[in-house]
Structure 1
Amino acid sequence: MKTLTINLPDSLDIEEFEAKMLFAGQLYEKGKVSLGQAADIVGISKRSFIEIMRRFGFRVFNYSVEEVEHDIRVALGY
Structure 2
Amino acid sequence: METRTLSFELPVGIFSALRKTPHELQRDMRIAAAAKWYEMGHVSQEKAAEIAGLCREDFLMELSKFNVSPFQYTSSEVLQEAGYE
Instruction: Name which of 44, 52, 55 aligns with 1:45.
Output: 55
Q: Distance in 2 between matches of 1:42 and 1:61?
A: 18
Could you tell me how far 1:2 is from its partner in structure 2?
Answer: 4.0
Residue aligned with 2:7, SS? coil
Measured on the aligned residues, the alpha-carbon RMSD in Å equals 2.1
Q: Distance in 2 between matches of 1:3 and 1:31?
A: 24
What stretches of structure 1 of length at least 5 have no aligned partner?
Answer: none
Q: Distance in 1 between matches of 2:7 and 2:65?
A: 25
Length, aligned pairs only:
75
Conserved? CA contact 1:21–1:56, under 8 Å: no
Residue 47 of structure 2 aligns with an amino acid whose one-letter code is Q
CA change 1:68–1:23 in 2 (3 A) is same
What stretches of structure 2 of length at least 5 have no aligned partner?
Answer: none
CA change 1:59–1:2 in 2 (3 A) is farther
TM-score (norm 1): 0.72
Question: Which 4+ residue blocks in structure 1 deviate beyond 6 angstroms?
Answer: none
CA change 1:57–1:8 in 2 (3 A) is farther
